[in-house]
Amino acid sequence: MSKSSVQVAYGARPAAELVDETEAWSFVLSLLPSAVRTGGARIELFEGNGADVTWRAPFGVTAEAARLLDLCLPLCVGARARSLVVAHLGQSLDGRVAVPLGMPRLITGPEDVRHTHRLRALCDAVIVGATTVVVDDPRLTTRLVPGEHPVRVVLDPRGRLPEDRGLFTDGEAPSLVVVGRTHAARYAGMPGVDVVPLPLEDGLLQVDAVLGALRERGLQRIFVEGGGVTVSRFLDAGVLDRLHVAVASRIVGTGAPALQLESALLTGGVASRARSYLLGADVLFDCDLRAGRGPERGLA
């Protein structure tokens, strides 16, 4: 398992003096481009030459705070922080992201669910595919952690979303549907949703066009939450800066696979620099995909 980017000495300090998870999360939020910086932080940052930011806490940190800083600081500090694409998948030990009917819907545990909410809070927009909305009816908010709700974006090339989905009716955060231009009329006049029509190629929305449309609307920091097909397409397109994969100790045996890559550019696989962390009963792999490609591959 990964250790902290910079070693910190706990010494004999009482637990009350250590930087805990709550303080570490507040510090991370203060680093967002839109945040108002405040003083008094007990964490120091050091930016390397092209590598992840490292940190030091002179008063020491709890294990949970150290893990949070290691996972979240690279998403908030550095040259790419203002224009970022990060993705997350929670999968079973046999690589499944969906389970058969009758089994518990969540594959990973509550710690990974909370981590997902943190990723939402760190980004301007959260993207899911239409199937995820049809099957799971997700809220896509930050209700488990402090932080602003992102704009909720659904990729729906064929215009097949039911009108009763919660992200259209709950009013908790803005919702945006990116739809194939020939199917945009499906959402005409529908309350609670902003529609972005884009051309289709071979029946699919193109990743570069989706990101371009979002960034035209000022949405620079993008979180691709799922499902497996959607994350695979963004990975296939070579636009992800970071990929978090949480692996549960469950064997499902059947269901949708986590990742399927088709691009000829990826014949040799996807290079990354990865670290791993215990996240409750799950193992989270933090994959830095920038390590395996030149800066020209991103959209930043």
The dihedral through the CA atoms of 265, 269, 275, 279 has a sign that is positive
pLDDT recorded at residue 261: 84
Q: How far apart are CA 221 and CA 141, in angstroms?
A: 16
Question: Same structural domain for residues 121 and 9?
Answer: no
pLDDT recorded at residue 152: 98
pLDDT recorded at residue 98: 80
Within-domain flag for 162: no
> Comparing C-alpha atoms, which of 267, 202, 198 is closest to residue 236?
267
Within-domain flag for 177: no
- What is the pTM for the complete model shown? 0.89
Question: Same structural domain for residues 13 and 56?
Answer: yes
pLDDT in tens, the chain (300 residues): 444 444 444 444 566 689 999 999 999 999 998 886 666 779 999 876 556 788 999 989 999 999 999 999 999 998 788 899 999 999 999 999 887 666 667 899 999 999 999 999 999 999 999 999 998 999 999 999 999 999 999 999 999 998 899 999 999 999 999 999 999 998 888 887 899 999 999 999 999 999 999 999 999 999 999 899 999 999 999 999 999 999 999 898 888 888 988 874 555 667 678 999 999 999 999 999 986 554 433 322
For the chain, the domain total comes to 2
Beta bridge partners of 89: 245
Question: Same structural domain for residues 26 and 87?
Answer: no
pLDDT recorded at residue 38: 66
pLDDT recorded at residue 28: 96
pLDDT recorded at residue 266: 54
pLDDT recorded at residue 148: 96
Question: Same structural domain for residues 5 and 72?
Answer: yes
pLDDT recorded at residue 86: 98
Within-domain flag for 200: no
Range of the domain at 131: 83-145+208-295
Q: How far apart are CA 165 and CA 169, in angstroms?
A: 7
Question: Same structural domain for residues 56 and 94?
Answer: no
- What is the number of residues in the chain? 300
Q: In what order do the strands lie in the sheet with 84-91?
A: 194-198, 175-180, 151-156, 125-129, 221-226, 84-91, 242-247, 282-288, 273-279
Q: What is the CATH number of the domain that holds 111?
A: 3.40.430.10
pLDDT recorded at residue 265: 54
